[in-house]
Structure 1
Amino acid sequence: MNRLSEHDKAVLNSIFNPLSPSLLGESEFHEETENDRVSQDDLEKGEILEPEVTEIQKLAILESESKNFDEALKLFEKALEKSGYPATLLNDRAQCLRLAGQNEAAMRDLNLAIEKSKNDRIFIRALCQRGILYKINGNLDEARNDFSKAAKLGSKFAKSQITELNPYAAMCNQMFREMTMKLSNP
């Protein structure tokens, strides 16, 4: 397994652990990919935060990543109050709430973020997060709907989730896992 690339390891992990946190978006505060980059048009749509609010947002994210959820939520609330509750901050706070196990509050923030979203990047992220929550709650039709919308806008994560929600793909993954386990344990 040492000779596998990081990508290969991630693919194998998603096969053997289809519900692992990394696949379910637990590290939503991630580096931007090509699909996540904000275009000039997006910047003109009002998602730019004041520098002071951006600093508070960064601190809140760091606290979330350190699992200091109470402090992170206080910081998010402060940033939201100073900025008029923009979609990007609602989406980030929803992530924190979700990690803290407050899924109902996270869902409220995500619904509002989707409603207020003014750029595709935030809209996509909020749809994916809401899709994750729907999936966790067993509401697979709603999850599939959100992932489909996000996939149409270019989200690779959403495309992978749609595939995973396909019963035939799940069956193939199960068969592949069983076959691989048999080969690795002769």
Structure 2
Amino acid sequence: MATANDRAVLQTIFNPSTPFGDIPGLDEEGEDDEDAQGDGDAFPEELLEQVRDLELQGVTAAESGDVSTALERFGEAVRLLPERASGYNNRAQALRLRGDVAGALRDLDAAIRLSRGRGRAACQSFVQRGLIHRLQGRDEEARRDLEQAARLGSAFARRQLVLLNPYSALCNQMLCEMLGRLRNPGHTGSG
């Protein structure tokens, strides 16, 4: 069974630009994805443990660069518990690694729908889908997804929202220039 620390490591592997501690509920010992959503009793415990083990195997495979095996393990987890959002989110990450953006988006949509937009899997799915939208130049869709992730506790999503805000970027630039002038009063910054 994956611990909170295991999930933090997996998050770091699949999303290296995400801060290590940017996982809602990480400090809540013993709280699983489903429990955070209130549907932890929805799946038989034995099957849930089997699926978690498959997901861990998938992460280990992806970690070692074997994306094909990772996709097999995540796919098997999804087949065993097709109503569990986490499996789709994990498979979407592996699909992105393989370059299958359309497949990743389908799985992210499924994860968000199954999680009802709540919990850790939803948060990670909103971030991931938001980043895909951003890379595809669909900033408004990216903003909507990142706002949802930020509401679910993602500090990474909040930082991405700042980057999407042109006024915020301009203010940050002006603040940096002002601080530079304070540090070097004799330097005008124009040469």
Q: Give the TM-score of the pair, scaled to structure 2.
A: 0.69
**Considering only aligned residues, what root-mean-square deviation do their CA atoms show, in Å?**
3.2
1:100 and 1:29 map into 2 onto residues whose CA distance is 23
* Shift in CA distance, 41/107, structure 1 to aligned 2, threshold 3 Å: closer
1:73 equivalent to 2:71? Answer yes
For residue 115 of structure 2, what is the aligned residue in structure 1?
A: 117
Share of identical aligned residues, percent?
32
Aligned-partner residue type, residue 143 of structure 1: A
* Shift in CA distance, 159/102, structure 1 to aligned 2, threshold 3 Å: same
1:156 and 1:29 map into 2 onto residues whose CA distance is 8
* Shift in CA distance, 31/81, structure 1 to aligned 2, threshold 3 Å: farther
Bigger radius of gyration, 1 or 2?
A: 2
Task: Name structure 1 gaps, 5 residues minimum.
Answer: 1-21
Aligned partner of 1:25 among 6, 10, 15: 15
* Residue correspondences, number: 159
Aligned partner of 2:39 among 35, 44, 60: 44
- SS, match of residue 145 in structure 2: helix
Q: Is the 8 A contact 1:29 1:61 kept in 2?
A: no
> What is the CA deviation profile of residues 114-164 of structure 1, one whole-angstrom value per residue up to 9, with x for unaligned ones?
111154221111111100100111100000011111212222111111001
**Aligned-pair distance for 1:169?**
3.1
Aligned partner of 2:93 among 92, 95, 99: 95
1:56 equivalent to 2:54? Answer yes
Q: Give the TM-score of the pair, scaled to structure 1.
A: 0.71
2:58 and 2:173 map into 1 onto residues whose CA distance is 39
- SS, match of residue 50 in structure 1: helix
1:148 and 1:32 map into 2 onto residues whose CA distance is 15
1:81 and 1:98 map into 2 onto residues whose CA distance is 20
Q: State which drifts further: 125-134 or 164-173.
A: 164-173
> What is the CA deviation profile of residues 14-63 of structure 1, one whole-angstrom value per residue up to 9, with x for unaligned ones?
xxxxxxxx8x9346696674545547553534477622221111010111
For residue 144 of structure 1, what is the aligned residue in structure 2?
A: 143
Q: Is the 8 A contact 2:127 2:146 kept in 1?
A: yes
Q: Is the 8 A contact 1:26 1:99 kept in 2?
A: no
> Which 4+ residue blocks in structure 1 deviate beyond 2 angstroms?
24-49, 168-177
- SS, match of residue 70 in structure 1: helix
Task: Name structure 2 gaps, 5 residues minimum.
Answer: 1-11, 185-191
Aligned-partner residue type, residue 88 of structure 1: S
* Shift in CA distance, 117/169, structure 1 to aligned 2, threshold 3 Å: same
* Shift in CA distance, 29/170, structure 1 to aligned 2, threshold 3 Å: closer
